[in-house]
Every structure is written in structure tokens, then in C-alpha cells.
């Protein structure tokens, strides 16, 4: 992304009628739901949380690109964790448990 910001700007700013952003959103939501599952004590429906998560992530990327990448990718990863991941996990999602993994470990 950092190496080709113009490509990502183009993808994020396509005409909504083309449906590309909707496809990116749906692909992101599907990928997220392969990695995370609903918490038993979820306060927010999983589908709403997943769409919020991905849309917020895309908005963060768009902001970063429009601002000329003022922060390193590593710093943006920290910001992503603080603004998007940490608040969303306790409200709705937990890492999906797979056979052979101890609880709490991905």
C-alpha cells in the first residue's frame, strides 16, 4: 500500500455505481468472519460489528493516503489496533478457535 498509494486511492475512490467498494467490503467482511467469531457475551450483532470493522479500516486507509502517509505503516497498525480492533473485540468478536489452538491464542 505504501509503495503504490495511487492504486489504493483509485480503488477507494471508484464510482459507487461500479460496486467495487462494495465488493472490497464484502470480501473484507467474509475474511474477517473467517478469522473472528461472535463472542458468547456479544453486545453487538456480529454482522454489524464486521461491517463496522471493515468500513472503519477502509476509512483509516483512505485518510492515511489522502494525507500523504504522514505516519509509518507500523504506527498506522498501532492506531488501527487502538481505534478499531480493541473496541470491537470486547463488544462483539473474538478470534475464531481452531482445533489444536489453546483458548486465547491464534
In tens, the pLDDT along 3-22 reads 666 655 566 665 555 677 78
Q: Where are the domains of the chain?
A: 5-95
Task: Return the SS3 of 92.
Answer: coil
CB-based contact 12:22 (threshold 8 Å): no
CB-based contact 43:93 (threshold 8 Å): no
- Is this model's pTM higher than 0.75 or not? no
Q: Give residue 65's pLDDT band: very low, low, confident or very high (50, 70, 90).
A: confident
Amino acid at each position: 500500500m505504501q509503495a503504490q498509494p495511487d492504486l489504493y486511492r483509485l480503488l477507494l475512490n471508484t464510482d459507487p455505481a461500479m460496486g467495487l467498494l462494495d465488493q472490497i467490503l464484502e470480501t473484507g467482511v467474509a475474511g474477517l468472519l473467517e478469522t473472528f467469531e461472535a463472542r458468547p457475551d456479544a453486545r453487538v450483532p456480529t454482522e454489524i460489528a464486521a461491517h463496522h470493522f471493515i468500513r472503519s479500516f477502509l476509512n483509516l486507509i483512505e485518510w492515511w493516503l489522502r494525507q500523504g502517509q504522514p505516519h509509518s505503516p507500523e504506527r498506522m497498525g498501532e492506531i488501527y489496533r487502538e481505534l478499531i480492533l480493541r473496541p470491537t473485540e470486547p463488544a462483539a468478536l473474538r478470534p475464531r478457535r481452531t482445533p489444536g489452538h489453546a483458548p486465547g491464542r491464534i
